[in-house]
Each structure stands twice: as structure tokens, then as C-alpha cells.
Amino acid sequence: MKLYYSNGACSLSPHIVLRESGLPFTLVRASTKTHALDDGTDYYTINPKGSVPLLELDNGERLTEGPAIVQYIADQAPGKNLAPANGTMARYRAQEWLNFITSDLHKGYSPLFNPKTPDDYKPVAREILMRKYAYVDAQLAGKQYLMGEQFSVPDAYLFTVTTWAKYVGLDLTAFDHLGAFMARMAARPAVQAALEAEGLAKKAA
């Protein structure tokens, strides 16, 4: 498999899941600014949406949208228990989290990264995100991960979008359960490997 990604973008989520899965894959960087690969290829010729992530399967088929990609990866490595079994209520709970993260958190950051957003709206956008994070923090009380005691694919997505907080002036220090979750995630070898590969963390000596 081949994962098209941009450093620190939402593609970090499937990147982490790929490393958790143990499945073989290669990384191809696509710039979110120039929409070109490192070799100059126009990324729009690969993904007409122009966004990352994109997962290219060994048969050449291409899959887009992070929540779909992470579930596909999980299903290719069932022994790793990265997502509950299809058809179970737990699987729908995982999808519930993936949808919440993509629609309420991920998209909530968009106005704060957009240089065209009026300055007087940015405090409003931050307040909306803070309310969403208050909900997440409450849900993490008494749990190691979103789904309970075991890592699953929504955790990779939550970790990824939450790393953006420091870049947009969002202070999440009041959320103790969320803070503990982020530390727990950062300590996972697969997360460390993904961060190092994307140049987001120093390689361990």
C-alpha cells in the first residue's frame, strides 16, 4: 500500500494506524500548499480532491477520506484489534467517534488555519472548539482511550487533530483527561515512529 500524506496534516491519523497494523506500506509526500509531490507530479492527477490522505492499494485502487481509510486498514489486520468487528454496536460507536472528530473537531480548526478568516471570528471558532473538547474530556474520564482500555482507530484521529491546538492559540491545559490521553498516545511506539517519519519529532538516539 501507498499512503499519500502531508507533514502533520490529518493524514497523520492513517499513518499512525498503518504503523499500528504492522502492514507494509510506503509514504509519498504531497504538499498541501503546492499540491505537488516531491518529484513535481501534480497531485490533482492522483486525487482530484487535492487533499490528503489517499491510500493506494496494491491493485491500484485508491481510497480517500481518513475515517474510511483507517477502517479499511484496521480490517486488513484483524488480529491487531484496531477496530471492533463489522456489524457490532462497538463498530458503530467507533464510527460515531470518527464522524464526530471529522465534523466537529477537524472542521472546527479550518477557520483558524484559514488566513481569510476575519480576526473577530477567531475567538468564536476557538470557543466552539473548546466546548467540543469539553465533551471529549468528559468522555475520556475513567478510560485509557475513546473506546475504553484499548487503542482503536478513532484515537489516532483525535490525537492528530489535537496536536494542532498549539498552532492556533487553543489552550487545552484545563482538560486533564484529554491531556493524559495525549501523553499516552505520544508514548506509543507507532505514534513516535510516525512523528519521526514526518519530521515532527526528533529520532530517538
Roughly what angle, to the nearest 10 degrees, separates helices 12-21 and 66-76? 0
> How far apart, in whole angstroms, are the C-alpha atoms of residue 88 and residue 85?
6
Q: In which order are the strands placed within the sheet that holds 26-29? A: 26-29, 2-5, 54-56, 62-64
Please write the tens of the pLDDT for every residue from 131-169: 999 999 999 999 999 999 999 999 999 999 999 999 999
Class of domain 89-188: mainly alpha
CB-based contact 13:21 (threshold 8 Å): no
Q: Which amino acid is at 159?
A: F
Q: Which ranges in the chain belong to alpha helices (H)?
A: 12-21, 66-76, 89-100, 107-113, 122-140, 153-162, 176-186, 189-197
The CATH code of the domain at 2-81+191-197 is: 3.40.30.10
Structural domain boundaries of the chain? 2-81+191-197, 89-188
Residue 205's pLDDT is: 40
Rounded average pLDDT over 180-189: 98
